[in-house]
């Protein structure tokens, strides 16, 4: 029984850290321009397809057969493809609407989301159905010898470690660097930041690029962990990531990570121990969301709203 409990914790941590990586992009973009970028899930999806394309069409087998060469390259390619799409999306879909009413960019985001899905479906060979994705890390499963054994894929361990390292690095970047300070300033008051010599457009592009890079890395890791990808993957995981960002307090980096882990653990443990079993595991995620928002509408780490002048 203990081993089952620990297995579910491991499952929850893997899913949770994946969602956390995507949620970081949601929360950062919201923090800077108060836009809920619903197309962010598609950035995640595009990264997975980009990484797969490099594996299938670009890299020689000498590299693809050795994970220590292939993994970093595919991660970088996935991140680059996602950055490219995210930056283009900001430039052509959101920047023209920067001063429009807030619902206009939101609806645009939904449109971009559908457009990206359809674009991949039409232009990526075989994307009308799920496509196999190679395992990019040490193959196989580590069985931790507790009770009946707690199985966890090596790729799963990689996913957890890499997510936490990236989230920690991002927080450091935002807190400690000059560019990070510019981001915080822009998020607090774009006009005053401009008066202080910050170029808000550059900061916003950087925010989309960082969010895109994290989503692209998440996409490649997702493919490598589950070994197949499809064009719907961004939508479903994007909704979870959005929920994680809201749960943790949208606009807050630490909150996005905690929110993601909570969702992963609630799904895994809820499916195991709560009535209804795995058929209802998604329900518990949103039950938790509702309970948290009733008592703490700003989420775990969200700041209470300030009235803007």
Partner 1 sequence: MDRKRTVVATAALIAGALALTACSTNRTEAGGASSGSSCDTSKGTLVVGFVAPLSGGLSALGLGMKNSADLAVNEANQQCKVPGYKLALQAEDDQSTAQIAGQAATKLASDPNVVGVIGTLNSSTAQSVAPILAQKKIVEISPANTNPSLTQGDNAASPARPNATYFRVATTDAVQGPFAAQYLVGTAGKKKIAVIDDGKTYGAGLAAAFAAEAQKRGATIVASEKVGEKDTDFSGVISKIRPLSPDAVYYGGEYPVAGPLSKQLADAGLNIPLMGGDGIVDDTYASLGGREGDLATSVGAPAEQLPSAKAFIDAYNAAGYKEPFSTYGALTYDATNVLIAGVGKGVGTGTFGDGSRDAVLQAVQSTSMDGATGKISFDQFGDTTSKVLTIYQVKGGKFAPVESGEFKAS
Contact letters for partner 1, residues 36-55 (x by CB under 8 A)? x-x-----------------
Cα torsion angle, 179, 188, 237, 299, sign: positive
Q: Which span sits near partner 1 by CB under 8 A: 57-65, 180-188, 198-206, 219-227?
A: 219-227
**Smallest separation (angstroms) from partner 1 to the CB of 51:** 16
- What residues from 111 to 130 belong to the interface with partner 1 (CB under 8 A)? 113-114, 121, 128-130
Spatial neighbors of 179 by CB under 8 A, at least 6 apart, are 173, 203, 206
Comparison of 36 and 287: residue with beta carbon closer to partner 1: 36
**Smallest separation (angstroms) from partner 1 to the CB of 130:** 5
Both tokens of 221, joined, read 């890791």
Spatial neighbors of 99 by CB under 8 A, at least 6 apart, are none
In the list 267, 285, 288, 292, the residue contacting partner 1 (rule: CB under 8 A) is: 267
- The C-alpha atoms of residue 7 and residue 13 are separated, in whole angstroms, by 10
Comparison of 206 and 266: residue with beta carbon closer to partner 1: 266
What is the per-residue burial (b if ≥16 Cβ within 10 Å, else e) of 62-92? ebbeebeebbebbbbbbbbbbbbbbbebbee
- What residues from 62 to 121 belong to the interface with partner 1 (CB under 8 A)? 102-103, 106-107, 110, 113-114, 121
Q: Determine if residue 249 is left, alpha or beta; phi over 0 gives left, psi from -120 to 50 gives alpha, anything else beta.
A: left
Comparison of 129 and 195: residue with beta carbon closer to partner 1: 129
Judge contact between 83 and 217, C-beta under 8 A: no
Judge contact between 27 and 255, C-beta under 8 A: yes
Q: Which span sits near partner 1 by CB under 8 A: 32-40, 60-68, 192-200, 201-209?
A: 32-40
Q: Which span sits near partner 1 by CB under 8 A: 65-73, 82-90, 178-186, 227-235?
A: 227-235
Comparison of 83 and 163: residue with beta carbon closer to partner 1: 163
Contact between 171 and partner 1 (CB under 8 A)?
no
Judge contact between 224 and 133, C-beta under 8 A: yes
Helices 281-295 and 253-273: crossing angle, nearest 10°? 130
Binding site for partner 1 (CB under 8 A): 1, 3-4, 7-8, 10-11, 14-15, 34, 36, 38, 102-103, 106-107, 110, 113-114, 121, 128-130, 132, 140-141, 143, 148-149, 151, 153, 225-228, 230, 232-233, 235-236, 239, 242, 246, 250, 267-268, 271-272, 277-279, 281-282, 297, 305
């Amino acid at each position: 029984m203990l081993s089952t409990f620990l297995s579910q914790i491991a499952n929850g941590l893997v899913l949770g850290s994946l969602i956390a990586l995507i949620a970081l992009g949601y929360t950062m973009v919201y923090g800077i321009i108060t836009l809920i970028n619903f197309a962010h899930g598609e950035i995640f999806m595009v990264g997975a397809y980009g990484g797969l394309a490099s594996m299938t069409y670009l890299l020689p087998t000498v590299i693809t057969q050795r994970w220590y060469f292939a993994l970093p390259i595919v991660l970088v390619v996935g991140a680059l493809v996602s950055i490219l799409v995210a930056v283009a999306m900001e430039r052509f879909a959101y920047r023209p609407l920067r001063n429009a009413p807030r619902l206009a960019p939101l609806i645009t985001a939904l449109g971009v989301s559908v457009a990206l899905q359809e674009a991949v479906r039409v232009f990526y060979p075989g994307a009308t159905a799920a496509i196999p994705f190679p395992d990019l890390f040490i193959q196989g499963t580590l069985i931790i010898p507790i009770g009946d054994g707690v199985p966890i894929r090596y790729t799963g361990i990689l996913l957890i470690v890499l997510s936490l390292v990236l989230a920690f690095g991002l927080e450091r970047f935002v807190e400690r660097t000059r560019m990070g300070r510019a981001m915080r300033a822009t998020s607090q008051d774009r006009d005053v930041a401009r008066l202080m010599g910050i170029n808000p457009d550059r900061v916003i592009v950087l925010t989309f690029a960082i969010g895109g890079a994290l989503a692209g890395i998440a996409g490649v890791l997702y493919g490598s962990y589950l070994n197949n990808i499809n064009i719907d993957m961004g939508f479903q995981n994007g909704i979870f990531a959005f929920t994680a960002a809201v749960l943790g307090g949208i606009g807050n980096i630490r909150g996005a990570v905690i929110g993601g882990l909570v969702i992963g653990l609630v799904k895994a443990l809820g499916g195991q121990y709560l009535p209804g079993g795995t058929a209802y595991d998604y329900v518990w995620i949103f039950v938790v969301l509702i309970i948290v928002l009733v008592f703490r509408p700003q989420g775990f780490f969200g700041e209470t709203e300030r009235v803007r002048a």
